Structure 1
Amino acid sequence: MRISTTARAAALGLGAATLMLAGPALAQAPDGVRIAAILEPNTLDPTAGAAEAIDVVVYQNVFEGLTRISETGAVEPALATAWTVSEDGLTYTFTLAEDVIFHDGTSFDAEDVVFTFERIRAPDSINAQKALYAGIESITAIDPGTIEIRLAAPSGQFLFDIGRGDAVIVAPESAANNGTTPIGTGPFAFVEWRRGAEVVLERFDSYWGEAPALARATYLFIPDIAARVNALLAGTVDGTYNMGTQTLPVFLNNPRFKVLEGTTEGETILAINNAKPPFDDLRVRQALNHAIDRQAVIDGASGGYGTPIGSHFAPHHPYYVDLTGTYPYDPDKARALLAEAGFPNGFSATLKLPPVDYARNGGQIIASQLAEVGVKLEQINVEFPVWLEDVFTNKDFDLTIISHVEPFDIGIYANPDYYFGFDDAEFQGIMARLNRAVDDADRRALAEDAQRRLAQEAVNVFLYELPQIGVWDARLEGQWTNAPIEGVVLRNMRWAR
């Protein structure tokens, strides 16, 4: 799992007086880039954390996998330069890149791949996507440059899944310290993490692949939207991968900047604790769905940017089904369902909100809409580490707002121990068949069934798909417009000469 820790919507009340604080642009060092990141990661090891903020810094920059995901969402070779698949779809044989070293000088070979996947699958693994790799039956080093992975059942997603940040290759010599001193094989090496301020990366001169144009990248953590605007206008940062929508007029007509509007895999949801009364009652969950006006949430929390969704699936995916009409906005129907469930006067609940604009702003709108049908919410603002511990880990919540930004992550609902607490044998059976399917028509039909089941069960209130709106120095090239996977990939960035 990756949950969005970026501020996808605008902070309210950003006044002209604030913008006037910005001074003239500063001179840009010709070989480096400074990127404004919204939240600071709690670790720099993507195999040991659930926050998008981790991959923003290290995915495809410091760490690499056997495969990698392109801006179009395609699977590309990475540390595995080629592979073959057996006729039964169970055995993958990978040819590994030659002359690869980790940033500490240790060599990369097949044993590192074995170590990585055995570590992911170990009983004490804390990998956020451990379930994705449970279908690996065996992993064998044929020789230093060849690895064989055998699956228990065919998987149409396997090559994609091993290209995620959760499956980057790590070395036994350094894995234990990757949280604070990450050592990978990527084009950039970790230099420094100044807690509360920035992470600095530098080009790795012994990189095995094509050398990046940038010599240095600095991620500056600037959670306040007004401060990010000022930093861009003053030239103390060169861009940000996702900017609040209400600030865009400041940049749209300014020739110093370019605004890139793209798509993400971020399903923004009002997440419901299905295992906790009264939310274990389908009628209560249906009532919450009928009580929410999605478009009002999009307009108020995301400046009108974003696509309404009715299930946990990205609208740009070819398997998408529009299920937004399953529970149309109908407060009267919501009140009737609550009365039928034994709550004619409604009830009280808590809404825990992480420190991102789409959650805090959306929370106010949703609390107001639910109050109209008698559901009174106590809004509790929490910092992100607290959200991870209370909500994601300990399941100590009633409702929360979060964006899930991993691609094709509908399978999280098949895990009854996941923080939603959704335990449904029918959905689990659909996903088991989908995970085994390799024929595209079969996969499409099963993915559609999975979406419909989640919508029917009103597992969460599915709100909208996040946009990605980057604001960058107009001279900087090679940034990704879209976000088919988490990360701010540096390899193609360069300054126009």
Structure 2
Amino acid sequence: MPNAPQFPTRSPRRRSVLAAAGAAALGPLAACGSGSDGGGDDGEPRRGGRLRAAFAGGGAGETLDPHRANLFVDAARAKAIFDKLADYGDDMSAEPRLAESWEPAAGLDRWTITLREAVFHDGRPVTAEDVLHSYRRIADPDETFRARADLEPIDLTASRATGERTVEFRLKRPTADFPAVLAAFGAYIVPADTDSFDNPVGSGPFRFRSFTPGRSAVFERFDDHWDGAPHVDEIELTVANEESARVNALLGGQIEYAHELNPATARAHENGGGIRVVRLANSAMQAFVMKTDRPPFDDPRVREAFFLIADREELIDGALSGAGEIGNDLFGKGYQYYAAELPQRTRNVERARQLLREAGAENLEVTLDTSDVAVGFVEAAGIFRDQAAEAGVTIQVRTGSKDSYWSDILDSGTLASYRSGAMPIGTHIAQRLLSDSPTNATQWRHADFDELHRQAQATADEAERTAVYARMQRRLHAEGGFLIWGFADWILGVANHVRGVSETAPANSLNWARFDKVWLA
């Protein structure tokens, strides 16, 4: 799923409910006082107990190899056992993890990373050689590790260890946002001699205890973690593909954390008192992509008309059941570098009609590709079809296979439903909007835009770099191919006695699924 890299699909062929794990695997309700060393109110963490969390899973083929992480449950397991040099904060800016500091050379094409004093679960220190081994493994051209594209700016042949805890990364070109590369999804550090993940050793807050693919994984507190020992003694990450199974297990006290609730479920339980609903805002961009290299969307007037046709509030209410906020045809609302100063686009059907007349596109007919690959896609397509009819545009909705949807719409068709998980704005541009971007679903290719990106990456001053990104976003807002109508909440359900769950972290950012910071009150 190259175009929705942080939001996995769930195949109806894979069914794994909590009951399949067996009562013995779930165990009794975690005792709040187990191993307690004091505390327990909202302001003072309590130590002890087992936290049990349920996610949608990937079946018997699941692995603990962090470089192969693809689904949310993969990411949660990897975050528990391993760590990265950096990770994304709530605004998608890079925050140091195993990297204690990073220093660029004047040309921004060489960066020195100093590692903090951290140890693996077997007591060995995390070293520069471990970092280089991990990155070279990820970059192996014979593999399909997901972070490989993110690490592309690094010349790993020329990069070297300059000390036990220092790495000099040589880059292929100036890269001002290099810390975001260190935070890339799946860029975890493993020991240099790792040849199997059957009994994985990492430097994360939990150490491996047991794993049954497609069923559950159990990890125990690592007391020597560099960021402090977790509050809970253990975590169990259980697979339950059906949302109803996750919710029922939460209501029945079998788990304390249910990942990925749909908006209707959240509304039904939000004020009932049985569970607490947590909404992570700005976690998923919701959009339609217009192919800018082919009729009718090769005419910027047609693209602007479609921007003006969209009733964003209606799309939020109808496709997301109100669980989100409107977009402004720009990725990354609230993230670092976001051009918040641009005026919010509003619906204007008459102006849209005028633009279509000027473009010779009156009575336009177009096919909108969609799929049930993601929540709200089919509903949004139907709503937008009806909105477009008011401007004299006939949209034929075509529902495709969820198994091949993302590859199908990358180069084919003209208009399609789209969404994306959280990532830095610079990463979104690099992966989707440059002439050589690997997942350029809008086919937006402009040499002058590419040059602005190179300029931003060669600009050391953050204020100046922000100004360049603002120029790029003004261009995209005026004539780009992303009709970004909303940003969906990512919804979690937690037991009332669970504390420490972040309510501001987008899915897949540093503070999402931070089970080392959660406790049972």
- TM-score by length of structure 1 reads 0.80
How far does the alpha carbon of each residue in 1:89-132 deviate from its partner, in whole angstroms, 9 at most, with x for none?
554333334563367x9874322211233344455564545454
Answer yes or no: is 1:320 the counterpart of 2:338. Answer: yes
1:302 aligned to 320, 343, 353, which one? 320
Answer yes or no: is 1:291 the counterpart of 2:313. Answer: no
- The Cα shift of 1:418 comes to 1.8
What is aligned with 2:394? Answer: 375
Check the 8 A contact 1:416/1:422 in 2, yes or no.
Answer: no
2:364 aligned to 329, 341, 346, which one? 346
Matched residues in 1 for 2:62 and 2:413: separation? 22
Q: 1:54 to 1:231 in 2, by over 3 A?
A: closer
- The Cα shift of 1:284 comes to 3.5
What is aligned with 1:11? Answer: none
Answer yes or no: is 1:494 the counterpart of 2:494. Answer: no
What is aligned with 1:13? Answer: none
Q: 1:202 to 1:275 in 2, by over 3 A?
A: farther
**SS of equivalent residue, structure 1 residue 141:** strand
Check the 8 A contact 1:266/1:403 in 2, yes or no.
Answer: yes
How far does the alpha carbon of each residue in 1:318-351 deviate from its partner, in whole angstroms, 9 at most, with x for none?
6433487575423344445445555433224242
Check the 8 A contact 1:245/1:305 in 2, yes or no.
Answer: yes
**SS of equivalent residue, structure 2 residue 480:** coil
Extract unaligned runs of 5+ from structure 1. 8-25
Check the 8 A contact 1:310/1:322 in 2, yes or no.
Answer: no
Matched letter for residue 200 of structure 1: A
How far does the alpha carbon of each residue in 1:29-67 deviate from its partner, in whole angstroms, 9 at most, with x for none?
232223233564986556456x56266423532331122
**SS of equivalent residue, structure 1 residue 268:** strand
Matched residues in 2 for 1:227 and 1:93: separation? 47
Check the 8 A contact 2:497/2:520 in 1, yes or no.
Answer: yes
2:151 aligned to 128, 133, 150, which one? 133
Matched residues in 2 for 1:118 and 1:52: separation? 23
1:247 aligned to 238, 262, 265, which one? 265
Q: 1:342 to 1:307 in 2, by over 3 A?
A: same
Q: 1:98 to 1:308 in 2, by over 3 A?
A: same
What is aligned with 2:444? Answer: 422
Q: 1:244 to 1:423 in 2, by over 3 A?
A: same
Matched letter for residue 248 of structure 1: A
Matched letter for residue 518 of structure 2: M
Answer yes or no: is 1:451 the counterpart of 2:468. Answer: no
**SS of equivalent residue, structure 2 residue 465:** helix
What is aligned with 2:44? Answer: none
Q: 1:241 to 1:443 in 2, by over 3 A?
A: farther
**SS of equivalent residue, structure 1 residue 165:** coil
Q: 1:122 to 1:274 in 2, by over 3 A?
A: farther
Of 154-163 and 35-44, more deviation after overlay is shown by 35-44
Matched residues in 2 for 1:221 and 1:193: separation? 10
What is aligned with 2:493? Answer: 471
Of 186-195 and 457-466, more deviation after overlay is shown by 186-195
**SS of equivalent residue, structure 1 residue 61:** helix
2:218 aligned to 176, 201, 206, which one? 201
Check the 8 A contact 2:55/2:241 in 1, yes or no.
Answer: yes
Of 154-163 and 423-432, more deviation after overlay is shown by 154-163
1:111 aligned to 123, 129, 138, which one? 129
Check the 8 A contact 2:129/2:161 in 1, yes or no.
Answer: yes
Matched residues in 2 for 1:202 and 1:449: separation? 47
- The Cα shift of 1:365 comes to 1.9
Check the 8 A contact 1:353/1:401 in 2, yes or no.
Answer: no
Matched letter for residue 492 of structure 1: K
What is aligned with 1:66? Answer: 85
Check the 8 A contact 2:421/2:507 in 1, yes or no.
Answer: no
Of 290-299 and 256-265, more deviation after overlay is shown by 256-265
**SS of equivalent residue, structure 2 residue 475:** helix
Check the 8 A contact 1:266/1:406 in 2, yes or no.
Answer: no
Aligned residues: 470
Matched residues in 1 for 2:381 and 2:211: separation? 36
Of 109-118 and 81-90, more deviation after overlay is shown by 81-90
Matched letter for residue 7 of structure 2: T
1:441 aligned to 463, 471, 475, which one? 463
Matched residues in 2 for 1:40 and 1:194: separation? 8
Matched letter for residue 62 of structure 1: I
What is aligned with 2:35? Answer: none
**SS of equivalent residue, structure 1 residue 133:** coil
RMSD: 3.6
What is aligned with 1:149? Answer: 169
- The Cα shift of 1:205 comes to 4.4
Check the 8 A contact 2:68/2:145 in 1, yes or no.
Answer: yes
- The Cα shift of 1:479 comes to 1.4
Matched letter for residue 29 of structure 2: Q
Matched residues in 2 for 1:112 and 1:276: separation? 47
Of 444-453 and 186-195, more deviation after overlay is shown by 186-195
Answer yes or no: is 1:5 the counterpart of 2:7. Answer: yes
Matched letter for residue 98 of structure 2: L
Of 485-494 and 454-463, more deviation after overlay is shown by 485-494
How far does the alpha carbon of each residue in 1:138-174 deviate from its partner, in whole angstroms, 9 at most, with x for none?
4201233332223455544222330232422235654
Moved over 6 A (4+): none
